[in-house]
Amino acid sequence: LALAFSFEPAEPDVMMLPPRSPSEPLLSGFLVARVLFVSALLVVACMLLFEWSLARGESVEVARTVAVNMLVAGEIAYLFNARHFTGSSLGVESFTANRVALGAIGVLLLLQAAFTYLPRANALFGTAPIAAVEWLAIAGGAAALFLAVEAEKSLRRRRSPPTSCG
């Protein structure tokens, strides 16, 4: 999914931001904080859905499949968040502007369907097919992750003026 960013159109106000200082580290405190925040959200969502599946009486293979699909769905959700570094990604444009990203997501979803439903993939990876209720939980987890990152960006915008991308 990260490769799709090379086809990403620039944010409208990108030229209004000051340039990143050459002495500034590539991974600023802001970026490290964002990586840790999103990583924590992904871990929590995957673990919650894994445990939820087991609590519902599903096999460990189903729970594992749910967790992996939650991870992928969360990465897809964050791809849309990351379209705008600090600005809101809640508009339709955020979901439609990069056709390469949409194509990459389509390919990824086909691969995930194969991972989830093909018997050979199930045998190779120790996974199992999942039901619609699990997909709804995964979609809900991905939506919650997307909204949590949008809330973090909104709080950050309120506390400080725009800075460089670093």
Q: What percent of the chain has pLDDT over 70?
A: 90
Mean local confidence (pLDDT), 94-114: 86
pTM for this predicted structure: 0.82
CA–CA gap between residue 128 and residue 120 (Å, rounded): 10
Asked whether residue 166 carries a pLDDT value surpassing 50, the answer given is no
Contacts (Cβ under 8 Å, ≥6 apart) of 121: 114, 115, 127
Predicted confidence (pLDDT) per residue in 12-25, tens digit:
777 787 887 888 88
Residue with the bigger pLDDT between 112 and 25: it is: 112
CA 30 to chain centre: 18
Residue 105 to residue 2: CA distance in whole angstroms: 11
Sign of CA dihedral 84, 88, 90, 93: negative
Do 90 and 28 contact (CB within 8 A), yes or no? no
Does the pLDDT of residue 163 top 60, yes or no? no
Q: Is the pLDDT of residue 68 over 80?
A: yes
